[in-house]
Chain A
């Protein structure tokens, strides 16, 4: 069972899923890092993205083409949600925000249940079962695309945060709001932009997931727990932490699924998680607790 012929494909498969986890976690960690919000609505917003791509597919739009629609659409949804609901309800209190995002997720999920029913649904694409031989293993095409696109999007996100004025302002606002205001930075706008960008990551993740996954109103739960684990494992608010953590969790889940059976695969995630926090309480890339 530990033959590399079996292990290697499993690890690569885990890597592909891990890249999507990383994308979801990047959005979550960005929102946390800047707004200090634990965004409980993150999973529900991913579900919105999945249904968006799902219905676009019904109208004949390929999920990968739907990226061009869903990323801006989820960005706009996140911007408006932060600007008009979360920001206004917070009054500067973190407990408020916790409840507001939790409430938003309940509302969104139940609206989805009402309109779309609780049935799980999938789409059929011509490439759903296409396999690609990458030399060491056969990998399904949608998974390979998910891996490549997720890494590319993470790179774009990194450039945006590291190299643009918007990114500098986002990082500035994360640490020094009053100083930012005095430089003429519109802090509320930057908050909404951060939330929007974090949500846009979900739009991308949704389009990449749809060809290899299913849709249901509760699908957010599958990912949000893993995403929270990734964010804490990588270090709250850390960009590289979310990326490396996501990949690590994906591989762990896949290998443990192989060794322990599919239903026990997630045990590995939490074993790694607990072991990491025992030795690095602030996560892999978190600033050390003093």
Chain B
């Protein structure tokens, strides 16, 4: 019973200005899964995301999405195929209204379903629905994170990469964020959740990877990772 493989990263080597950050990363996400990628600051998590999303060209290795080789493809092509990233720091358009941000979520993909997706996103985030005409830069941090996710959902992603969605949120909002991620997953969305928040991420995910200094040092079922003595020592301090 092999589930459909959505994202398949093989031996990815990548970095900036010739300095390698990732030294051969293997990682995959199947349809309907939540996979979490854990790692401390500087481990290379965002480098991985940005190479997968086509912002940078990897030095070596390959990235397949639904069987298609997308290594070094343009971000426009990758978004058009349905691999959408909600980046760390949200990267919303601060000078545009909430509504315009959401509209641009469907700039490249699912444009003809814009109206229905807009309804869906405002059903998930009623707060955004109330603030459609507000300038996005004036939203609170939590609302901006919701907007970033909502904008990503407007493209009807086949796989959504969430890069540190809980970063900078209050504990209450972090709870809310993880509840939301669970909801999206129940509705059938596959997610790659990149987080520093180890406990909650592993509770949510089916499988996990731990990235350290550009290498995957640990991977497996989330329940097993939770029990792993090395991980508990390194990330939970026990």
Q: Select from chain A the residue with minimum beta-carbon distance to B84.
A: A182
B91 interface residue (CB < 8 Å to A): yes
A180 interface residue (CB < 8 Å to B): yes
B107 to chain A, nearest CB (A): 6
Instruction: List, in ascending order, chain B residues with CB within 8 A of A182's CB.
Output: 53, 55, 75, 79, 84-87, 91
Interface majority SS (helix, strand, loop, mixed), chain A: helix
- C-beta contact mask, B127-160 vs A, less than 8 Å → 1, else 0? 0000000000000000000000001000100000
Q: A171-B93, A176-B94 are in contact. Are A185 and B76 (CB under 8 A)?
A: yes
Most buried by B among A178, A184, A185: A184
Q: A169-B107, A178-B55 are in contact. Are A186 and B87 (CB under 8 A)?
A: no
A137 interface residue (CB < 8 Å to B): no
Tell me if B93 and A179 are in contact (CB < 8 A): yes
B84 to chain A, nearest CB (A): 7
Q: A171-B95, A179-B93 are in contact. Are A184 and B79 (CB under 8 A)?
A: yes
* Interface range for A: 10 to 19
Instruction: List, in ascending order, chain B residues with CB within 8 A of A175's CB.
Output: 93-95
B92 interface residue (CB < 8 Å to A): yes
Tell me if A183 and B151 are in contact (CB < 8 A): yes
**Which A169-199 residues have C-beta < 8 A from chain B?**
169, 171-172, 174-176, 178-186
Tell me if A181 and B108 are in contact (CB < 8 A): no
**Which A142-183 residues have C-beta < 8 A from chain B?**
165, 168-169, 171-172, 174-176, 178-183
Q: Select from chain A the residue with minimum beta-carbon distance to B79.
A: A184
B104 interface residue (CB < 8 Å to A): yes
**Which B66-97 residues have C-beta < 8 A from chain A?**
74-76, 78-80, 84-87, 90-96
Q: Select from chain B the residue with minimum beta-carbon distance to A162.
A: B100
Instruction: List, in ascending order, chain A residues with CB within 8 A of B84's CB.
Output: 182
Tell me if B104 and A172 are in contact (CB < 8 A): yes
Select one of A168, A178, A184, A186 contacting B91, CB under 8 A. A178
Instruction: List, in ascending order, chain A residues with CB within 8 A of B76's CB.
Output: 184-186
A160 to chain B, nearest CB (A): 14
Instruction: List, in ascending order, chain B residues with CB within 8 A of A184's CB.
Output: 75-76, 78-80, 107-109, 155
Tell me if B93 and A180 are in contact (CB < 8 A): yes
Select one of A172, A181, A186 contacting B93, CB under 8 A. A172
Instruction: List, in ascending order, chain B residues with CB within 8 A of A180's CB.
Output: 93, 104
Q: Select from chain A the residue with minimum beta-carbon distance to B114.
A: A165
Known: A172-B100, A181-B54, A182-B53. 6 other contacts (CB 8 A): A165-B104, A165-B107, A168-B103, A169-B104, A178-B87, A183-B108
Listed in ascending order, the chain B residues whose CB lies under 8 Å from chain A are 53-55, 74-76, 78-80, 84-87, 90-96, 100, 103-105, 107-109, 111, 151, 155
Q: Can you list 24 A-B contacts with CB-CB less than 8 angstroms, sorted by A residue number?
A: A165-B104, A165-B111, A168-B96, A168-B103, A169-B104, A169-B107, A171-B96, A172-B93, A179-B87, A179-B92, A179-B93, A182-B55, A182-B87, A182-B91, A183-B79, A183-B105, A183-B107, A183-B108, A183-B151, A183-B155, A184-B79, A184-B107, A184-B155, A186-B74
